[in-house]
Chains A and B, each alone.
Chain A
Amino acid sequence: MFGWEFPPHISGGLGTACFGLTKGLAELNNIDVTFVVPKAFGDEDQSAMKLVGANNIPVAKSKIQFDDIQKKIDYYEVNSPIIPYVDEDEFWELKSGKYSKKSQFIETDEGFKIDFSGKYELNLLEEIYNYAAVAGIIAGNTDFDIIHAHDWLAYPAGIAAKNISGKPLVIHVHATEFDRSGGNINRKVYSIEREGMELADKIIAVSNFTKNIITDKYGISPHKITTVYNAVEPVFRKNSNKINKHINEKVVTFLGRITQQKGPEYFIEAANLVLKKTDGVRFVMAGSGDMMNAMITRIAELGIADKFSFTGFLEGGDVQKMFQLTDVFVMPSVSEPFGIVPLEAMQSEVPVIISNQSGVSEILENAIKINFWDTYAMADAIFGLLNYPALSSYFKEEGKTEVDKLRWIDSAQKVLEVYKLALVK
């Protein structure tokens, strides 16, 4: 399996999904997974890794043991000096962490399009092909039956592995350039994606929403594509000491990158409508992104800045805390291939409002679904959840029950079916 990120070093849903799926596959019988990531973070214990020869192909191998599963997953790391990150904020956050001095940073935008600054000259595309070269070598040295590549950064690696081994390639589309860029696509990324889709034996899409993009925008036959929905890792609340809300306000939360794809401006317009009618509500935008300043300007313009809080990017544990303070979670995404965050909110018993333009809306019943542009409907839903207690208590209960039924092992089972089809070919 090839993927660009793997927990704990993740920038979004991709790494989480890769981890969940790999774990699910490990629970099934007779599947051994080898996961290859470009090693980019210096804070890992390098002493446990055998780094194989320099320019050439530094390969690290380690074994990860899942807590509750006896099986081991091989975990390769290619020592990549590159950390793709999203904006300046995140860059400084990453930079201030404990990274080895060798790590270098390049600036990329939403679409991982590279935004060169004098300081960071490394080329991400080059890196992807380096990664692919390594993939080819790993493929030559390892015994396996099928190749599975996650998202465009790993497609060239998948293709390389296929070319060398002749084994079938399954690519897993977690997002496309169209989701990330909002229509203004990067040609190079598009062509890498398209090549991957064309050369793959089977394609897994995380939703029908994404499947439709693959058929419409990339011209791929729908017969080749199978939709496999993501699931969510169950949370076991170890420390049940709930945070006491010190503010006597209801909290409505937006959690995600503040970028065009996530629709933050619609959240603000809806908030403005709600605030015209009610008091005692606070709107929180948790995350960072290139539209943050524009959003702050808009809030000031509307004169509702006193009702808004910005938290910046939240790390794992803080996300849980945020949900505990939240009364309503809103995901107004303009184009969301899946969207795992609402599932996490539901696990924490938070009622959710999601846009119809998200993959997750295809499977959720206990969520209010609206069109992202319909700020009136969004405002009405927020108001309803804040003011009519029966509605939120219904969602707290039913939503939790529903989301607890989504398990990675079921998704893995479906992936296995796809493997079988690919192998028959």
Chain B
Amino acid sequence: MKSVCLFFQVHQPFRHRRYRFFDIDTDHYYYDDYTNETIMREIAEKSYLPTNEILLKLVDKLEGKFKVAFSITGVALEQFVLYAPEVIESFQKLAKSGCVEFLAETYSHSLASLNDRDIFEKQVKLHEQKIIELFGQKPRVFRNTEMIYSDEIGDKIEKMGYSAILTEGAKHVLGWKSPNYLYASALNPKLKILMRNFKLSDDISFRFSNTNWDKFPLTAEKFVGWLENTEPNEEVINLFLSYGSFGDRQSKESGIFDFLETLSQAIIQNRNLKFATPTEVVEELQPVSVVSVPYPISWADEERDLTAWLGNKMQKEAFDKLYHLKQKMDKCSDTNLIKDWNYLQVSDHFYYMSTKSFSDGEVHNSFNPFDSPYEAFINYMNVLSDFKIRLDLLIPDDKTENEISNLQKNISKKDVKIKKLEAQLIQLQKEKKRRKK
């Protein structure tokens, strides 16, 4: 029996407002509330709420046989609280059903896994707390930002106590191997890897309503046929999608909701197929082989690498300048700064600076609030400059700090000495008086 592992990513960034350089050091509010609220309301109504509704129905109707996994970023959850609290409620209902697994990830949907272990761990822990608090589940499987994965990241994850990670079944990593098995990390085989079947996943999320596609129209029956017709001994088909695929990228009118419903029923009715959450997959299956990923992969673009976020000089500079502040952030306990720090790390900011859109096109442009990558970079750096000023004010440079503490030490040493000398002086004066007598 083959398992179908259904996973959805839910993420929305806090988009920055147009932050000009003359705002630096005068205005410390960075966010475009109007846009953020508008987008959140729109996608909640078009996609998240109706899809959740269908999932709840399926959970109910299919008596626990329907299973699905989510990773919802911390910044998305914060925005739900602000702009669409009913979405949280509906996710909570799903959580109670026992058919939904919530995965761990970075709080900010950040690129911290590529930088510092401490920052990364902090981000993951912060997210975990939020998930426990809202959904009463402690995540066991990890899903990194945009499916970013490498051997090194896998090792970190395993040491943090997660049993498995989700990533892209990238061709250049798998080679002749099929994504439809459970794998283990070459560097640390204790960590299991679930590889996304990008062909079947993208058939739903990208091609579903494409009339130029030779397989159009896609029906549940057809899709189940494809699932069944995978190699006989293949064990798991990982369908990892962005949650906005339902109702947003594929509109309601395209029939995507009906498709989701009928497909789920057809899978359960099929003798050779069943649903499984990532944790169930890891418990039920044995890894068939190890996968070695020395250089990070992701699910973005044709290259499946990091170039969408860290492909050009501007992106690298912004990334370096951001994480350059990490030592100071360690000492920072100001809640406003910590909040901004979390929002600054959101990977979308780096995505907006990508110059790949010139060649790689639509996907990049459609999510970008900026007219050009240069504007995105300037805007981000302006915000970061202001943030740095605030941080420096609170936690001065190490140099000055050291100097001050050195001086203070000196002063206190001298204080002690002065007291000693004073005491001696008094002693001597007393002796003098005595002698006179």
Hey, which bits of chain A sit against chain B, CB under 8 A?
273-274, 276-277, 365, 368-369, 376-377, 379-381, 383-384, 387-391, 393-394, 397-398
A389 touches B21 (CB 8 A): no
Residues on the A chain within 8 Å of B358, using CB: 365
B378 touches A384 (CB 8 A): yes
Main secondary structure of the interface of A (DSSP, over half): helix
**Which 10 pairs of residues, A with B, have the shortest CB-CB distance?**
A390-B317, A384-B378, A383-B21, A394-B313, A390-B313, A388-B381, A380-B20, A368-B374, A390-B314, A365-B358
A388 touches B22 (CB 8 A): no
**B:1-22 near A, CB below 8 Å:** 20-22
B378 touches A388 (CB 8 A): yes
Assembled-state Cα–Cα distance A389/B381 (Å):
11
Residue in contact with A391 in the complex, picked from B21, B371, B374, CB distance below 8 Å: B374
Residues on the B chain within 8 Å of A393, using CB: 313
Assembled-state Cα–Cα distance A394/B315 (Å):
10
Residue in contact with A384 in the complex, picked from B21, B312, B313, B355, CB distance below 8 Å: B21
Residue in contact with A389 in the complex, picked from B317, B374, B382, B385, CB distance below 8 Å: B317
B378 touches A380 (CB 8 A): yes
Assembled-state Cα–Cα distance A368/B24 (Å):
21
A381 touches B24 (CB 8 A): no
Q: A368-B375, A383-B378, A390-B316 are in contact. List 18 more A-B contacts (CB 8 A).
A: A274-B21, A276-B22, A277-B22, A365-B358, A369-B371, A369-B372, A376-B20, A377-B375, A380-B382, A381-B374, A384-B381, A388-B317, A388-B381, A389-B317, A390-B377, A391-B317, A391-B381, A394-B312
State how many angstroms separate the Cβ of A331 from the closest Cβ of chain B: 15
Measured as residues with beta carbon below 8 angstroms from the partner, the interface class of chain B is: 20 to 34
Assembled-state Cα–Cα distance A268/B375 (Å):
21
B318 at the interface (CB under 8 A from A): yes
Assembled-state Cα–Cα distance A333/B375 (Å):
20
State how many angstroms separate the Cβ of B28 from the closest Cβ of chain A: 16
Assembled-state Cα–Cα distance A276/B312 (Å):
31
Residues on the A chain within 8 Å of B314, using CB: 388, 390-391, 394
Residues on the B chain within 8 Å of A389, using CB: 317
Residue of B nearest to A389 (CB): B317
Assembled-state Cα–Cα distance A393/B378 (Å):
14
A277 touches B381 (CB 8 A): no
Query: A-facing mask of B7-50, CB < 8 A → 1, else 0?
Result: 00000000000001110100000000000000000000000000
Assembled-state Cα–Cα distance A346/B297 (Å):
35
Residue in contact with B21 in the complex, picked from A365, A368, A379, A397, CB distance below 8 Å: A379
Residues on the A chain within 8 Å of B375, using CB: 368, 377, 381
Residues on the B chain within 8 Å of A381, using CB: 374-375, 378
Query: A-facing mask of B334-366, CB < 8 A → 1, else 0?
Result: 000000000000000000000100100000000
A388 touches B377 (CB 8 A): yes
What are 14 of the A-B contact pairs (CB < 8 Å)? A276-B22, A277-B22, A365-B355, A368-B374, A368-B375, A383-B21, A384-B374, A384-B377, A387-B21, A390-B317, A390-B377, A393-B313, A394-B312, A398-B355
Residue of A nearest to B385 (CB): A387
Residues on the A chain within 8 Å of B385, using CB: 387
B381 touches A368 (CB 8 A): no
**Do A380 and B312 contact each other (CB < 8 Å), given the known contacts A369-B372, A388-B317?**
no
Assembled-state Cα–Cα distance A228/B17 (Å):
38
B22 touches A273 (CB 8 A): yes
Residues on the A chain within 8 Å of B317, using CB: 388-391
